[in-house]
Amino acid sequence: MSTDVLKPERALRAGAASRQPSQAPRGRAALRLAARAGTVLSWSIVAIGALAMVVPFLWMLGVAFRTSADLYADPARLLPQHWTTHGVRTVLDQLPFTRLIINTFVFAGGTTLLLLLFDSMTAFALARLRFRGQNLVFVLVLATLMVPFQVTLVPVFLTLFHLGWLNSYQGLIIPRATSALGIFLLRQFFLQLPRELDDAARVDGAGNLTLYWRIILPNAKPALAALFIIQFSALWNDFLWPLVVTSDPNMQTLPAALTLFSSASGVDHAALMAGATISLAPLAIAFLLLQRFFVQGVASTGIK
Domain ranges of the chain: 2-63, 86-300
Confidence of residue 180 (pLDDT cuts 50, 70, 90): very high
CATH code reported for the domain at 86-300: 1.10.3720.10
> What pLDDT score was predicted for residue 1?
45
Confidence of residue 301 (pLDDT cuts 50, 70, 90): low
pTM for the model: 0.78
Average pLDDT (100-127) is: 95
Average pLDDT (145-162) is: 91
**Residue 5 scores a pLDDT above 60:** no
> What pLDDT score was predicted for residue 214?
93
Average pLDDT (37-49) is: 90
> What pLDDT score was predicted for residue 56?
87
**Residue 296 scores a pLDDT above 90:** no
* Range with the largest mean pLDDT of 56-65, 143-152, 170-179, 271-280: 170-179
**Residue 226 scores a pLDDT above 80:** yes
- Rounded to whole angstroms, the Cα distance separating 114 from 37 reads 49
Confidence of residue 35 (pLDDT cuts 50, 70, 90): confident
**Residue 184 scores a pLDDT above 50:** yes
For every residue of the chain, DSSP letters joined together read -HHHHHHHHHHHHHHHHHHHHHHHHHHHHHHHHHHHHHHHHHHHHHHHHHHHHHHHHHHHHHHTT--HHHHHH-TT-SS-SS---HHHHHHHHHS-HHHHHHHHHHHHHHHHHHHHHHHHHHHHHHHH---TTHHHHHHHHHHGGGS-GGGTHHHHHHHHHHHT-TTSHHHHHGGGS--HHHHHHHHHHHHHS-HHHHHHHHHTT--HHHIIIIIIGGGGHHHHHHHHHHHHHHHHT--HHHHHH--STTT--HHHHGGGGEETTEE-HHHHHHHHHHHHHHHHHHHHHHHHHHHHHHHHTT--
